[in-house]
A and B are shown apart, each in its own frame.
Chain A
Amino acid sequence: MSHNKIKIGNGEPSRIGAIGAELGDLSDVTESSVALGNYLIYDGSSWENATPTATYAGTIFIGEGASQNYSGSGASGVSVGNDVEFYAASTTNTITGATITSASNWISSVTLPAGTFKLYAVAGLDLTNSSGLLEYRWHDGSSQVGATGNCGYTNDLVGNPAVTIVTPTTGTTYTVEIITATNVVAKASQTDRHSERGYILIEEIRT
């Protein structure tokens, strides 16, 4: 009389009944020349070892150096509490679920989905003299967040960004809000310095 012997794939029991089964012994797993860095990937019918197809973290980039006077923006003003708008005839947005709000190519806000993002903004509004100072921060609709950006009278003093990392759990709208406005040229007289030198950069860190 003989008895059946349990097997798992090609794995047979040892004399004490222990079965050594590897991943490739499973019926829906196909291994072929497994190499360092492979993942077990489902191809629709079975699991196979492979190098995954690259995906990319999303990016929003607004700012193309265009010459558009800020006086033509939809901003309500250039005083403390006003939001700064940014000009771009063509924006880049590869963050899934993110939207950019604009009118006449002036971007007023960015709405981000749940995730983790790093936000940069550089503003370059005109100041009346060398004592002038513009400071600004990101604003999440209820409060200011992150480090303060600033710009001065001369163009070499444009480029100090407001920076923050945010982790919205649901769609959240972000603006760039002025927190200091000393000797700022009135909106009606603002030139194209801001559209030429200002920008928004948002980098997706984690979805």
Chain B
Amino acid sequence: MSYLTNTINSIEPDRIGQVTLDLNDLSNVSTSPAVNDALYFDGSDWIASAIIIRYEDIATFATPSTLSAAQYTASYYNTSFESPFLLPIRSTLSTAGPNVILDSLPKLTIGEKVYGTKSRYIERITVDANTKALLSCDVCLAENSQSTAFIDAQWQTSTGTALGPIVRIRRTGYNRQTIHGYISTSGSTVDVGLKTLTLSGNVAWPQSTATKNQYALTAKFTA
């Protein structure tokens, strides 16, 4: 009398019927793994592959609001409010609104300045220690600014270190610019923001929804 010997992918059971399989023994797996490789399906087989995770972008933080800021009923911009950074990256936000979605993200913390119950402004970004990030802010001046008015702005640290090029921004309809800056921190946190280098003409407060719709801030972490 003979018995059929079962095999699995050419591997025979031992004397107690146990079959020991590695991943590579499976017919649809082909691996030569290195440390930290993951199992990746290439369309036909499972193979060992390094894991690649792309951008950890942060999204636009300024949720448009129709609320006005009673504090800033004066017509024009007052740089004395800058401490230390440029007001136009701020946006009047509802206290009830989901204004700063970044707060739940690691590495960056938004600092707000609150002038009233309906007047909150994004003032600075605190970057964690040991972080590298490309900061990009799309911005223009308020639409009711003087047509010839402009601000030259630049990403800087709170101690005045330049992080990128100088960009001239004007009111909506005249230009909207993207301002880039690159921050690399080491052992401690660093406050960064847009710094006004030059202000010319009458720049209005950036309070309307139309103006705020022009704002977007993103950051791409690079380490």
Contact = CB atoms under 8 A, between A and B. Distances in A.
26 contacts: A4-B16, A6-B13, A8-B8, A26-B22, A27-B20, A27-B22, A39-B39, A39-B51, A42-B33, A56-B53, A56-B222, A57-B55, A58-B222, A65-B165, A92-B182, A94-B223, A122-B165, A154-B168, A158-B167, A159-B175, A159-B178, A197-B166, A197-B167, A199-B164, A199-B165, A201-B134
Contacts of A53: 36, 51
A129 to B, nearest CB: 18
B39 A47 contact: yes
A207 interface: yes
B37 to A, nearest CB: 5
Given A156-B175, A201-B180, A59 B222 contact: yes
A84 to B, nearest CB: 14
Chain B contact residues, majority secondary structure:
loop
B37 A63 contact: no
Contact of A42 (B38, B53, B178, B184): B38
A6 B162 CA distance: 69
Interface of A: 3-9, 17, 21, 25-29, 39-44, 47, 52-59, 61, 63-66, 92, 94, 122, 154-159, 196-199, 201, 203, 207
B128 interface: no
B96 interface: no
A7 B33 contact: no
Contacts of B223: 56, 94
A122 B168 CA distance: 13
Nearest to A61: B182
Contact of B21 (A27, A158, A198): A27
B23 A26 contact: yes
B165 A7 contact: no
A41 B134 contact: no
A56 B56 contact: yes
A162 to B, nearest CB: 14
Given A8-B8, A42-B36, A64 B165 contact: yes
A65 B166 contact: yes
Given A26-B22, A40-B38, A199-B165, A54 B53 contact: yes
Contacts of B120: none
A74 to B, nearest CB: 20
A151 B19 CA distance: 71
A3 B3 CA distance: 9
A64 B166 CA distance: 8
Given A6-B17, A26-B26, A207-B52, 5 more contacts: A5-B17, A21-B21, A26-B22, A42-B37, A159-B175
B19 A4 contact: no
B62 interface: no
A118 to B, nearest CB: 11
Given A27-B20, A55-B51, A201-B180, A159 B38 contact: no
Given A61-B134, A159-B167, A66 B162 contact: yes
B140 to A, nearest CB: 10
Contacts of A25: 21
Given A26-B21, A42-B48, A156-B168, A52 B15 contact: no
